[in-house]
Amino acid sequence: MKELTIPAKTGNLPMATGFVTKTLEEMGCPAKPMFQIEVSVDELFTNIASYAYPDGDGTATIRIDDSEKGAITISLIDWGVPFDPLQHEDPDISLLAEDRPIGGLGIFMVRKTMDDVKYEYRDGMNILTIRKRWE
């Protein structure tokens, strides 16, 4: 298990994705799933940095379970406003971009590219966990 806790600021996005990318490289993850995981972590961390702490600063923790060969489980944890992004309906991607309401596309992409996505609110924490297999 590996863990990184950093201020939930969009300027820390390279640190967050770099932490994940380094682990994926060490695991020998192929390019396509690595890209999908990186995009997912980018989206989820950006959401935490942008929305979790409307009244001030907070932190985000990225917890990586790399114990299974050919798979990774990543939890993004914050202590901000309780919010389950999985409860929102998928955007209607048949509509033109200008006709679609803003929001929801990022979590839609995460759900479509990861093998498992789950959310829980426990002990004052939002915990969003993604899992991806490549073997």
CATH number at residue 45: 3.30.565.10
Q: Is the pTM of this model over 0.85?
A: yes
For 18, the 3-state DSSP assignment is helix
pLDDT for 6 equals 98
- Quick one: CA dihedral 51, 119, 41, 32, positive or negative? negative
State which residues form the domain around 71.
2-133
pLDDT for 104 equals 47
pLDDT for 105 equals 54
One-letter amino acid at 48 equals: I
In the chain, the largest separation of any two C-alpha atoms, in whole Å, equals 44
List per-residue pLDDT tens for the chain, 135 residues long: 999 999 999 999 999 999 999 999 999 999 999 999 999 999 999 999 999 999 889 999 999 999 999 999 999 999 999 999 888 665 455 545 555 455 545 688 899 999 999 999 999 999 999 999 998
pLDDT for 96 equals 55
pLDDT for 87 equals 82
Tokens matching residue 5: 């806790």
Domain count, the chain: 1
pLDDT for 86 equals 80
